[in-house]
Chains A and B, each alone.
Chain A
Amino acid sequence: MNAHFWRAQDSYLRRDVALTLLAGDQGDAAAVAAARRTLERAAHATTLNHPGKARVLDVLSQGSGIGAGEGLIGIIVADWVRGTDLIDLVAEYPVPSAIAASLLEPLAAAAETAHHTGLVLGLDHPQRIRVTPQGALFLAFLGAPAEASLHDDVRGLGAILYLLLTGRWPLPGGPEGVPAAPLGPDGHVVAPRALYSYIPQELSEVALRCLSGDSIGGIRTSAGLIRVLERAKFIDDETHQLQAISDDEEYEDDGTVWTTRRPSNDRATRRKLAVGVTALAVATVGVLAWLGMQLISFFGDTEPGAGGPTIVATAPGGNPQNGPPPPQPGEPIQAAGVRVYNVKGTADNPRRATFAVDGDPKTAWKTDAYAQPFPALKPGIGIMASFAEPVPFAEVIIDSPSDGTVVEIRTAPTERPKLDETKVIGRATLQAGQTKLQLDSAEPTQHVLIWITTLAEGNVSELTEIRFLRAQ
């Protein structure tokens, strides 16, 4: 078919129109018949409205608008849409893959819609196609050749994709100024990816499969193409954005907008972004950890036995209510000797230590009055009770007026151990009156430390009486 594409002005309505001029000798019956078919197709196309194709305004044929001897056998008039030529777009550099995909997608969608109603668009030549300012390809010059089929449209879409990706036209009869696509040894055009290795495999392949049409593995409907384009658009969004962020300088150096090469500092940019995202993740995690810990504290159970007149406190790892029965308290046992256990500074009232075990509720051992709570001056203060022989203990009962004092019961290997040599076997917050501390570990020990970690009000605590009950 011999078609010319013109932009013209409708002198009545003063608007621009796109003209597809079908040239030919009016005496050539075959050419006239083909042109009539083309015009019919274009007239049918008026029923289809799609942003991917221009609206057909009028169809002129010989006798209705075209005089004899003009060398024309038909004219198709369509809306003129502002934009640029596709060929101009790819003249200097091919288009990046993601952009190619997003450019082509509306056109492919138009073809798909047209094909559903049995219309052929006639995407056989790049000059028919223009690019809107919004970045979409559309069919500006309508008029499908008489012999064109739906498959030809798909092949044309493949060819346009090929052109976008590589700047070369893979079908015979390409426009001037656009180089033809190189042929491989098998006689077919080479894959776009073979020309530019950065092109995604999938996109490169789909262009070839559209072009191959009827042969095995070929794509014959535009639906298949659209799926790939959508994915390619999606896949490449990120890298595309990244290039835009990062490589401004390089672009400026080139003085070009499009580049055929993958920018060399692509990876460096990604690395920067990766570090940024990681830092963000770390910060978020830090905040989440803090929030989580608040939540845990919120859900957490309170200190055991925070109420009740006689507290039953247990060893930290202990198990009083369930499991193996705790050691049953037997008879009380008298300590052979007691002394104040102090790790820092001077001992508190060392000579009164025995008052705590003398069985007399009127006498007591008292700590010094501290200016600040533990562990400001010392980690704690305690009474070390030693026994004649290793004894398994079941309970310690402490009589004290100092409400809020926190004591730990610890076993010790010697009479004067370091604090970290002692082992916690019970812990409780004392209340005014008697506090019973149940111990679960009945292993015999010769030395027991009553270790005060928190003092009562006024930073002073008093222990009236401490009684030790051995396990049965």
Chain B
Amino acid sequence: MAIATMVSRITGFFWKLMLGWIIGFGVVQDSFTIANTLPNIIFELLLGGVLASIVVPLLVRSHDDPDGGQTYINRLLTVGMTGLAVATVIAVALAPVFTRIYIDGSTGNANPELATAFAYLLLPEILFYGLFALLSAVLQAKHVFGPTAWAPVVNNLVVMATLLVYAIVPGKLSLNPVHMGDAKLLVLGIGVTMGIVVQAAILLPALKRSGFKFKWTWGFDARLKEFGGLALWILGYVLISQVGMVVTQRVLSAASAGGVSIYAQAWLLFQLPYGVIGVSLLTAILPRMSRAAADGDTQRVVDDLSTGSRLSAVMLVPISAILTVSGVAIGIALFRAGATDLAQANRLGTALAFSAFGLLPYALVMLQLRVFYAMKDARTPTLIMLVMTVVKVPLLYMCGAVVDPRQVVIAVMLVNSLTFVVGAVLGQMWLWVRLGNLHSKKIIAVISKSVLAGLGGVAAAWLVSRFVLPGTIGSMGRAWLVLIVQSVVAGPVMVGLLMALKVPELKPATSRITRLVRRG
């Protein structure tokens, strides 16, 4: 299971890299990126949050039905898929509207027509995202996990193949005017959609093996109603976060070509440490915390929250430090190949460096979110998201106004991280209102020590690159060299400083990482 998740992450990351190498950071990737997020967003709005928080728990409960949940599952699939099919048709019809919401074409730096063309090809993914989500929920309720975990890997492989075909197909994408029949356009659009189709289809044999037979069953399960209120707030959360997303994309697409893709890739890199370390931490702490919250044991919830926050600080702040000092090297090491030129890889890395400080706030926001949900409070996270968005939107427009158009993507990443700082402070304050004392001083003490250690690491890495490897980074090989040297120097310095500062959380953190490494 853990291996499947790891492999799917790695392959997923790799095809994003390939996207950079083969297509480059320009109008084409911008248009593709936005068009490819559209089905995801729409699916998330229609079903995503609701599915995770409501349908799956109900699925598990429906096992106690006289028929073992068969009717419930059939009804769910019938109603859910029909609804999604209708939604998909409407969404495809509205594709031009969606792309014009997300893309600001007024400056001529973006190409809404191309994005719309991609969207026509990619929006049908909604249906298959839904099918995949529903089927994997059904399988999980039956305690079948394997196919669900490996299916995304298959999707990633299909996309990689698609990208290779895209590279081989001769010709060039015509940008103005956009031709729907363009071979490259069709390859990319249809191939990526096929990835999602395959990802869903691969679950069908497993479902059959589990002895499930599909029968059209119409109707609405009364049990769904009791969750209505919760679902509404979750929907609100997604909607509000989309406001921030829309403004982000509009500012980026108006500023310069390639901004949208650089942002997407930088964000992917930014999330990577959290995805590996933060999530493993969350999965360890979450069940315990949910149980404590269900028992009304505030003290234990607070203890777990505090432990989680402090462990996150000790693990993520040093990583932030490395990202800050080596951001440019990372950008160039990963992307300076194929169609991506040095300036763009450099910009991507700079964006990473400028936003790396937000890693811990981001992880804290995610942790706090889970605490609220564990307490069956879906309202406060939505309100926090609202405040974050209210802060974010003017700052984003400020990016567009103040910064050189090509640097806007760096500023947008910076604003993103700053918003997480606001979110983390706000979340901590509201949890304090709800739960009383959170041992915040202890958390702040650990964060301060980690930051101190991080600064030490930054200084050491900077000194090393200044005196041992002076000069700018021009090639992928040199970037790797700089990155490795800086990490090798900064890592031990930071661990040493943390030990010298007597941070007690260091031990569980390192043991967790070594366990993770051993398992991987």
**CB of B108 closer than 8 Å to a CB of A:** yes
Interface residue? A305 (CB, 8 A): no
Judging by beta carbons under 8 Å apart, are A323 and B340 in contact?
A: yes
Inter-chain contacts of B436 with A (CB < 8 A): 239
CB-CB nearest in chain A for B106: A420
| Cβ < 8 Å to A, chain B residues 393-413 | 395, 398-399, 402-404, 406-407, 410-411
A206 contacts the other chain (CB 8 A)? no
A293 touches B432 (CB 8 A): no
Name which of B53-61, B148-156, B371-379, B419-427 contacts chain A.
Answer: B419-427
Most chain B CB atoms below 10 A, which of A235, A297, A299, A322: A322
B411 adjacent to A293 (CB under 8 Å): yes
> Chain A residues near B350 (CB, 8 Å)?
296, 299
The answer to whether B340 touches A319 (Cβ under 8 A) is yes
Q: Could you give, for residues 335-354 of chain B, a 1 whenever the CB lies within 8 Å of some chain A CB and a 0 otherwise?
A: 01011111110000010001
Question: Do residues B437 and A238 form an inter-chain contact, with CB atoms below 8 A?
Answer: yes
Q: Who on chain A is nearest to B112 by CB?
A: A420
Q: Does A406 sit at the interface, judged by CB under 8 A?
A: no
CA distance A202 to B173 in the complex (A): 68
| Nearest-Cβ distance from residue B450 to partner chain A, whole angstroms | 19
Cβ of A249 within 8 Å of any chain B Cβ, yes or no, is no
Q: Choose among B419, B426, B442 the residue with the greatest number of A CB atoms under 10 Å from its CB.
A: B426
How far is B414's CA from A297's CA once the two chains are assembled, in angstroms?
13
Mask: chain A, 380-418; 1 = CB below 8 Å from B; 0 = not: 000000000000000000000000000010111100000
Q: Which of A236, A290, A300 contacts B407 (CB 8 A)?
A: A300
Bound CA span A155–B173, Å: 84
Q: Flag if A292 contacts B414 (CB, 8 Å).
A: yes
A285-321 interface code vs B (CB 8 A; 1 in, 0 out): 1101110111111011100000000000001111111
> Is A82 on the interface with B (CB-CB < 8 A)?
no
Report chain A residues within 8 Å CB of B395: 285-286, 289
Q: A278-B387, A324-B339, A422-B108 in contact; A271/B433 too (CB < 8 A)? A: yes
State whether the Cβ of B175 lies closer than 8 Å to any Cβ in chain A: yes
Partner of A423 from B111, B354, B399, B411 at Cβ < 8 Å: B111
For B173, B403, B419, which residue has the most chain A Cβ atoms within 10 angstroms? B403
CB-nearest residue of chain A to B30: A317
Q: Does B80 contact A (CB under 8 A)?
A: no
Alpha-carbon gap, A445 to B176, bound state (A): 7
In this assembly, does A277 line the interface, its C-beta being within 8 Å of a C-beta of chain B? yes
CA distance A423 to B253 in the complex (A): 12
In the complex, which residues 220-262 of chain A have their Cβ closer than 8 Å to any Cβ of chain B?
234-239
* Contact among B173, B175, B177, B404 for A300, CB-based, below 8 A: B404
Map CB proximity to B onto A199-225 as digits: 1 under 8 Å, 0 otherwise.
011100000000000000000000000
Residues in B98-124 with C-beta less than 8 Å from chain A: 105-109, 111
Binds B, one of A14-22, A61-69, A436-444: A436-444
B105 CB contact (under 8 Å) in A317, A322, A420: A420
Other-chain contact of A413, B177, B391, B440 (Cβ < 8 Å): B177
Which interface class (under 10, 10 to 19, 20 to 34, 35 or more) fits A? Answer: 35 or more
- Once A and B bind, how many residue pairs between them come within 8 Å at the CB atom? 157
**B24 close to A (CB within 8 Å):** yes
A318 to B108, CA, bound (A): 14
* Docked CA distance A300–B340 (Å): 19
Contact B175 A267 (CB under 8 A): no
Residue numbers in B under 8 Å from A239 (CB-CB):
436-437
Q: CB-CB < 8 A to A442: which residues of B?
A: 172
Chain B residue total in the interface (Cβ 8 A): 62
Q: Are A316 and B175 in contact (CB under 8 A)?
A: no
A297 to B406, CA, bound (A): 10
Min C-beta distance of B375 to chain A, whole Å: 15
B341 near A424: Cβ-Cβ < 8 Å? no
Within 8 A of B (CB), among A45-99: none
Q: CB < 8 Å: which of A237, A282, A319, A321 contacts B422?
A: A282
Give Cα A420 to B254, complex, Å. Answer: 11
A318's nearest neighbour on chain B, judged by CB, is B26
Q: Is there a chain B Cβ closer than 8 Å to A195's Cβ?
A: no
CB-based contact B340/A424 at 8 Å = no
* Residue contact B414 to A296, C-beta cutoff 8 Å: yes
Task: Give A125 to B409 CA distance when docked, in angstroms.
Answer: 71
The answer to whether the Cβ of B439 comes within 8 Å of any Cβ in the partner chain is yes
CB pair B414 A423 closer than 8 Å? no
Contacting pair A319 B339 (CB below 8 A):
yes
B25: chain A residues at CB < 8 Å are: 317
A4 within 8 Å of B (CB atoms): no
Classify the secondary structure of A's interface with B.
helix
Q: Chain B contact residues: over half helix, strand or loop, or mixed?
A: helix
Closest chain A residue to B418, Cβ basis = A285
In the assembled complex, the CB of A435 is this many whole angstroms from the nearest CB of chain B, namely 19
CA distance A136 to B421 in the complex (A): 40
Chain A residue nearest in CB terms to B256? A316
Residues from chain B with Cβ under 8 Å of A351 in the complex:
none
Let me know if A278 and B258 touch, CB within 8 A: no
Contact B341 A321 (CB under 8 A): yes
The answer to whether the Cβ of B299 comes within 8 Å of any Cβ in the partner chain is: yes
Interface residues of B in 163-200 (CB under 8 A from A): 172-177
Which residues of A are found within 8 Å of B173, using beta-carbon distances? 443
> Complex Cα distance A231/B482, Å?
45
Asked whether any CB of chain A lies closer than 8 Å to the CB of B91, the reply is: no
Across the interface, do B26 and A317 meet the contact criterion of CB distance under 8 Å?
Answer: yes
Per a CB cutoff under 8 Å, which of B24, B430, B440, B441 touches A317? B24
Taken together as a complex, chains A and B put the C-alpha atoms of A16 and B406 apart, in Å, by 81
**A317 touching B27 by the CB < 8 A rule?**
yes
The answer to whether B414 and A316 touch across the interface, beta carbons within 8 angstroms, is no
A292-B411, A423-B111, A442-B172 known; A277+B105 contact, CB < 8 A: no
Q: Name the residue on B nearest A420 (C-beta).
A: B106
Once A236-B437, A274-B429, A323-B341 are accepted as A-B contacts, the answer to whether A316 and B399 lie under 8 Å apart by CB is no
A443 pairs with B175, CB closer than 8 A: yes
Is B24 a contact of A323 with CB atoms below 8 Å?
Answer: yes
For the complex, what is the distance from the CA of A83 to the CA of B353, rounded to whole Å?
59
* A277, A296, A419, most chain B CB atoms within 10 A: A296
Q: Which B-chain residue is minimally distant from A323 (CB atoms)?
A: B339
| Distance in angstroms between the alpha carbons of A410 and B30 in the assembled complex | 18
Which residues from B are CB-within-8-Å of A267? 433
Shortest distance from the beta carbon of A451 to any chain B beta carbon, whole Å:
8
What's the Cα separation between A322 and B425 when bound, in Å? 44
Q: Collect the chain A residues with CB atoms within 8 Å of residue B418's CB.
A: 285, 288-289, 292
Task: Report which A residues bind B (CB closer than 8 A).
Answer: 200-202, 234-239, 267, 270-271, 273-274, 277-278, 281-282, 285-286, 288-290, 292-297, 299-301, 315-324, 408, 410-413, 419-420, 422-424, 441-445
Binding site for A on B (CB under 8 A): 24-28, 30, 105-109, 111, 172-177, 256-258, 299, 336, 338-344, 350, 354, 387, 391, 395, 398-399, 402-404, 406-407, 410-411, 414-415, 418-419, 421-422, 425-426, 429-430, 432-433, 436-437, 439-442
Q: A293-B398, A441-B172 are in contact. List 10 more A-B contacts (CB 8 A).
A: A239-B436, A282-B387, A290-B398, A293-B399, A315-B26, A316-B258, A317-B28, A317-B256, A420-B105, A423-B176
27 A-B pairs with CB atoms under 8 Å apart are: A201-B299, A236-B437, A270-B433, A274-B430, A277-B429, A278-B387, A278-B426, A281-B421, A281-B426, A285-B391, A286-B391, A293-B402, A296-B350, A296-B407, A296-B411, A316-B257, A317-B30, A317-B258, A318-B26, A319-B340, A321-B342, A322-B336, A322-B342, A323-B338, A423-B27, A424-B108, A442-B172
Please list the 10 inter-chain residue pairs (A to B) with the smallest Cβ-Cβ separation, ordered nearest first: A317-B26, A317-B257, A274-B429, A443-B174, A281-B425, A323-B339, A316-B257, A300-B407, A411-B176, A319-B341
